[in-house]
Amino acid sequence: MDVVGVGYPVQDMLVRIEQIPKARVHVLSKILSSSWQGGGMVSTGLAAASVLGARAGIIGVVGGDLYGKACINDFKMNGVDTSHLYVDEEGTTNYTIVLTETYTKERCFVANDGSKRNLKAEELDEAYISQAKYLLVTEMDEISIKAAIIARANGVKVVIDADLYEKRTMDNIELIDVFICSEEFYQGMFEDEDYIGHCREIQAMGPEVALVTLGDKGCRGVYKDTVIDQKAFTEIDVVDTNGAGDVFHGAFIYGMLQGWEPEYIARFASAVSAIKCTRQGGRAGIPDAETTRKFLETGVIDYTEIDKRVDIYKKGLF
């Protein structure tokens, strides 16, 4: 196993409309396209790593409902191992309705946490975690901290997809090897845009990689002694940015597994994320490694395999 993730699988209902309707305004907003896809930050990161060619596995819990079954089938379609994905037969699975406006690309989320139980500490299989090269988490809650301790004790590097600022993440920074955060997380810590300088401060706390993803402004940070200043690929036709950061994390892990130079890892991960954004949802537009390499070499996206995935998700055939 190359990467194991501790995460919270979600089922996403993705809807593209011209304009998100306002309350009490009787205007019919027609659905332009829709897609059922698996979601969740760690889950989508693992799917991206797997599509690119890494061996990935999920540790988590889903409900015994149709959404839970859909999450499992989605993982399997993307080649993610589900042997440690537990099913709470009496519980229901998290799901999210995501509305995206075509003109502004703004998104609106409506979420249901479901009633499934939480992952138990004893379900963190040390043998399963220790066989991996990387552990992917998205927060430093009790379960993730225990998983990180297991990983570090067995020489497994810990990667975090830090989204919204949480003090407990920084309180446990010594357990993190690869710290990649969103702009929102960064703004919870710092008031200026000295990304490189502040990432060096974070790096001094323990991580060998400290990086901030900045959407259409690219990503900046440090990878050991290398400064990362990767611009975004802005020449693409953006359809949906949902899951872009999650996919970036999976692609970044894939790049580290290949032993590439830091600048190329950041460029490759940015390209994978950009290509994903040309299709609806976090999963359908994930390219394989060859498609990404061709894009980096020519600037052209080959949609042959991508649109097969789009059609599967559109029809719900997974």
Whether 64 is covered by a domain: the verdict is yes
The per-residue b/e assignment along 283-307, b for 16 or more CB within 10 angstroms, e otherwise, is bbbbbebebbeebeeeeebbbeebe
Average pLDDT over residues 276-301: 97
20-34, 158-172, 211-225: which range is least confident on average? 20-34
Question: Do 107 and 99 touch, CB atoms closer than 8 A?
Answer: yes
pLDDT at site 24? 61
In a domain, 91, yes or no: yes
Calculate mean pLDDT across residues 230-235. 94
Residue 296, classed as helix, strand or coil, is helix
Q: What is the domain range of residue 41? A: 3-23+31-302
Residue 279: which pLDDT band, with cuts at 50, 70 and 90?
very high
pLDDT in tens, 126-148: 999 999 999 999 999 999 999 99
**pLDDT of res. 27:** 67
Residue 90 lies in a domain: yes
Mean pLDDT, all residues of the chain: 95
- Burial of 124-154, coded b for 16+ CB within 10 Å and e otherwise, reads beeebbbebbbbbbbbbbebbbbbbebbbee
Strands 10-17 and 95-101: parallel
- Provide the pLDDT confidence category of residue 25 given band limits of 50, 70 and 90: low
Model pTM score: 0.95
Mean pLDDT of 4-8: 96
Please report whether residue 313 resides in a domain.
no
The tally of domains found in the chain comes to 1
Q: Is the pLDDT of residue 249 over 70?
A: yes
Among 225, 223, 276, 217, CA closest to 251: 276
Residue 55 DSSP class:
-
The answer to whether residue 314 is domain-embedded is no
pLDDT at 302: 98
Q: Are 246 and 161 in contact (CB under 8 A)?
A: yes
Tell me what pLDDT residue 282 has.
Answer: 95
Any domain includes 310: no
CATH assignment at residue 35: 3.40.1190.20
Q: Classify residue 269: in a domain, yes or no.
A: yes
Kindly state whether residue 224 falls inside one of the protein's structural domains.
yes
Q: Is 250's pLDDT higher than 70? A: yes
Band of the pLDDT at 29, cuts 50, 70, 90?
confident
